[in-house]
Amino acid sequence: MNTKIGIGLLAVAAVIAWTGIAGAQAAPPAPKMQLPSEVAMWDLSEDWDIIVENLEKWAQDGTYPNVFRITQTGRAFSAIRLRDNPPPSRELAGTPSLQGELEKTGFKSVKSYKCTRNRRQL
C-alpha cells in the first residue's frame, strides 16, 4: 500500500514539474545593435528605473529612486534624469547623470556625476 502511494505521489510530482517547465516562458533576448565593425553590442537605449545610492562625500543625499533615459550611439552612451532628485540633492530632471563606453565584453568605462550648475535656489 505504501509503495502505491509513493509511486502515485512521485507521478503527481513529475506531472507538476513537467507542466511548470512546459509552461515556463523563456526570457526575451536582450536587445543588441550591430556596429559597422560587425561587433554586436548591447543596446542600452531606453528608460531605466534606477535606485541612486549616494556614497562618500554625497552620502547626506541618501538613497532614492529615479528614472534615467539612456541614449546610445555606437559604443558610447549617456543618460539624463527624468525626475528631479529629492532634497537635499537638487539635480533637476533633464540634467546629465551618466556617460560611458562599452566594449565587446561589457562596460569599458562609466562616469556618474552630479550637475551642480542647474541646482534650484532655496
Give the torsion through C-alpha atoms of 86, 87, 93, 98, to 10 deg: -80
Strand, coil or helix: what is 60?
helix
Domain-embedded: residue 102: yes
pLDDT tens readout for residues 97-119: 999 998 877 889 999 877 554 44
Domain-embedded: residue 3: no
pLDDT band at residue 120 using 50, 70 and 90 as cut-offs: very low
pLDDT tens readout for residues 48-67: 999 988 888 888 888 999 99
pLDDT tens readout for residues 12-51: 666 666 665 655 565 555 666 666 666 677 788 899 999 9
- DSSP H/E element including 6: helix 2-23
* Residue with grid cell 527624468, as numbered in its chain: 82
Range of the domain at 93: 32-118
Predicted local distance difference test score (pLDDT) of residue 91: 85
| Average pLDDT across the chain, whole number | 77
Please check the confidence at residue 74 and state whether its pLDDT lies above 80: yes
Q: Are 51 and 17 in contact (CB under 8 A)?
A: no
Of residues 5 and 6, more confidently modeled: 5
Domain-embedded: residue 17: no
Give φ, ψ of 21 to 5 degrees. -70, -45
Of residues 79 and 117, more confidently modeled: 79
Total domains, the chain: 1
DSSP state of 38: S
Q: State the cell numbers at 19.
A: 507542466
pTM tops 0.75 = no
